[in-house]
Structure 1
């Protein structure tokens, strides 16, 4: 097969598709990963072949200068009333405007769709694995199968299902209108599969999946990072319990949000631990004091760091959460307000694999208390074992490839 990945231009999303892209490639399939030109280096870091499309884009700059009220008015997406609906709706409509609207703050990804369709048609792509709605347009315009690669809980599928349940066909459906206008350029008609895919590739454990009724194939998220030479200090035994503090890739690049998790730094100096904080200067408030037992590093691969750690403090992103599970590291999570971080935190909390702290309770004193529990109490050992079993119950990318081959072959014989 010829398989074209179309992730959103966010580093975390490129990282999420890398294990499956490699599984397909090592099974003998041709793989391309389509990204704006300034993201091609991140694709080659994983040993994959990039396809530069459209123009380079700085998502943080676009997000920082956009009017949220203007963005929120762009589509008529509805949710099922969950507390995080407006945040999820904001992120979804913001990306929709970049691909299908007039762009935001001078940033636009409309040209990438033209490039993608031209390539998929000439390359004769068999399968498009999309990270956002633009991939569905490319699949429809080129005749390829269309699978969505979920980047967490399927809030998009759930919102779309709920919207169609509540609204008469086509009524107030601005998202469909924008996508349909783009499809017409390529002589194609709209079907709902353009948005929701024929199948979804779901990296979430069974207990976290949303019952949206859409067909899905589970696939385990394998921890992967940009390769790097391990620093010398990482190869030496830790003399005290080592704790990792990280806010994830998307917090750096697409949203730039500070987190209450940084309050941990005020507690770290009084604890007999070693802290490795993978933070950039922009993520640290100007008045923060960094204790002497905290090592600040711009980047160290989590799959190298976490095996040496006794605990990890983070924002609830699935790349970080699932990177810790194979090494059975207890997690303390202060959920970010981006996508599904609260749900991930509550899931790990329920299993006893970690502690979920709301931002208002993430005080230095509470951090010190919770961390001491994580380092000393056996219940966390049992909890991380349970979470690890949930992860191992999911098929690996290599095990999923034959299922994808069968689904695409079955589609072609219809």
Structure 2
């Protein structure tokens, strides 16, 4: 690939390794595949415990752990302008051409997009979650999203349901939003070598035990299923504030020998938990796209899931049983799945997942989005400012002033530390073996 045509991408999010989750996996695997396609990728996140400064990961992926501590739920405290000097320096040093922010709840993502737009960079945003319109938290979050996407070049959603939700919440033109699903590393999530005995049926749950993930539904569903099917066991992996309710349910119904509570499961051990089961149960109340379902299907498990958000788009009908987020309906769905088990071939399911989902395919489709962003006409700052005035009678004026002040601070930074005085990082030359790997993977 011609070096002049390569993208130089800065991935930004509060959610990244060593923390584990769907957004973290998405950024890591996407970055690795973009590196293999010949692009330069740098990740920016906040510090984790003693992990601060610059680190390198697999494939020479460079990660800046900015010295900002998480404030709440892995998010940094909103500083608006204090991150400008660091982000500006990284953008210039790494010669970035596209800034790609991830997750609407990430404070660092919104700040990076704001600073990048002020500096004239192309910006892309990926929304990984669904949000409502009525509660106080969602109303404020939607207004922040409207501000962040007011002058965005392109946006990505992980499902068509997510796209519809993002367009309604932010007011972004639908033609600017691409739908690119998540994927799964099928080489990591393989079925058990020997088919499991179906005399005892094991239902696996791996999820954060919080309200949004439907932990309260599990409290009602598990005892009913155990009562209907004496040969069913549950394995529950995950931790959270609702874990106490599940443990109380287990004690109340004397299910200690039929419900195993594993606590938090490290990502490296997820496969070993999944392959010990026959059915994967997802009880989420809202999901834009559930990567856990892909991991379970890749391991050959039949999935039972609530019919919410983008979940119906994830798997073919013969690989998943959908239910309304209602205890009775979920019990009936589990009953149906148990009758389907004899006809499920885990290895065949794994091979189908290989053809359905690939991170290399996600990377190539994301590359198209970057190309579209690059082709967007460059507008002067005053023209961009006018877009913020359309965000509401009062909010629009506030957003206008926030961006205007950001521009003035950027001008002062340019006087104090001119662009040309910031040393640029030389590109790493790929070895012959790395170049051959890229050609093979392409």
Query: Normalised by the size of structure 2, how large is the TM-score?
Result: 0.57
RMSD after superposition: 4.8
Question: 2:236 is matched with which residue?
Answer: 277
| Structural mapping, 1:330-369, within 5 Å | 330-334=302-306, 342-345=308-311, 351=317, 353-358=320-325, 361-362=326-327, 367-369=330-332
Rounded Cα–Cα distance in structure 1 between residues aligned with 2:359 and 2:120: 30
Rounded Cα–Cα distance in structure 1 between residues aligned with 2:193 and 2:218: 27
Structure 1 ranges of 4+ moved more than 6 A: 39-47, 176-179, 254-257, 378-382, 387-390
Question: 1:57 is matched with which residue?
Answer: 70
Q: Does 1:400 align with 2:381?
A: no
Q: Does 1:143 align with 2:106?
A: no
Rounded Cα–Cα distance in structure 1 between residues aligned with 2:56 and 2:241: 26
Query: Normalised by the size of structure 1, how large is the TM-score?
Result: 0.60
| Structural mapping, 1:30-69, within 5 Å | 30-38=40-48, 48-60=61-73
Native 8 Å contact 1:120 1:142 kept in 2: no
Give SS of 2:48's match: helix
Rounded Cα–Cα distance in structure 2 between residues aligned with 1:242 and 1:154: 33
Rounded Cα–Cα distance in structure 1 between residues aligned with 2:377 and 2:97: 9
Q: Does 1:221 align with 2:221?
A: no
Native 8 Å contact 2:44 2:66 kept in 1: yes
For structure 1, the 5+ residue unaligned runs are 63-94, 100-107, 157-162, 164-172, 180-190, 336-341
Question: 1:241 is matched with which residue?
Answer: 201
Question: 2:278 is matched with which residue?
Answer: 310
Native 8 Å contact 2:204 2:274 kept in 1: yes
The structure with more radius of gyration = 2
Deviations 1:317-337 (CA, angstroms, capped at 9, x unpaired) = 4222343454564433358xx
The structure with the largest strand share of the pair is 2
Rounded Cα–Cα distance in structure 1 between residues aligned with 2:115 and 2:38: 23
Question: 2:259 is matched with which residue?
Answer: 294
Rounded Cα–Cα distance in structure 1 between residues aligned with 2:370 and 2:378: 12
Native 8 Å contact 1:275 1:295 kept in 2: yes
Q: Does 1:9 align with 2:22?
A: no
Give SS of 1:238's match: coil
C-alpha deviation, 1:260, in angstroms: 1.9
Question: 1:117 is matched with which residue?
Answer: 88
